[in-house]
Amino acid sequence: QVQLVESGGGLVQPGGSVRLSCTASGGRFGIHVMGWYRQAPGKQRELVASISFGGGSRTYADSVKGRFTISRDNDMNTLYLQMNSLKPEDTAVYYCNRISSRYDWGQGTQVTVSS
């Protein structure tokens, strides 16, 4: 069974940066479009960014455009999210998953933006 493992979160000051990573144990991302999602307290999980297998197609939520960058290393079976110019409203648990044919959700990684 595939297990998604997200890492890299933590406490960061407003305006700071953090890089998240996601790997899949027991399987591979394959050719699927991959995405980063987040869920803030009391809110529904939302898609933040997605990336095609080759990386040529990337999409971003309006709230993170120009600040976040999604990337992937298919050889390493790893997905990344570079988060810059962080705002308090970016505080959430961040998850990775396929856009379709999703795996079970992992534990996520907490990102807290606060001074």
For the chain, 115 residues long, the average pLDDT of each consecutive 10-residue run is: 95 98 91 96 96 95 98 95 98 96 95 97
Compute CA distances 39 → 52, 63, 74, 111, whole Å. Answer: 22, 14, 26, 10
What was the pLDDT predicted at 1? 83
What was the pLDDT predicted at 41? 92
What was the pLDDT predicted at 10? 97
What was the pLDDT predicted at 27? 86
CA distance 20 to 79: 8
What was the pLDDT predicted at 30? 84
Compute CA distances 12 → 19, 69, 93, 113, whole Å. Answer: 11, 17, 14, 5
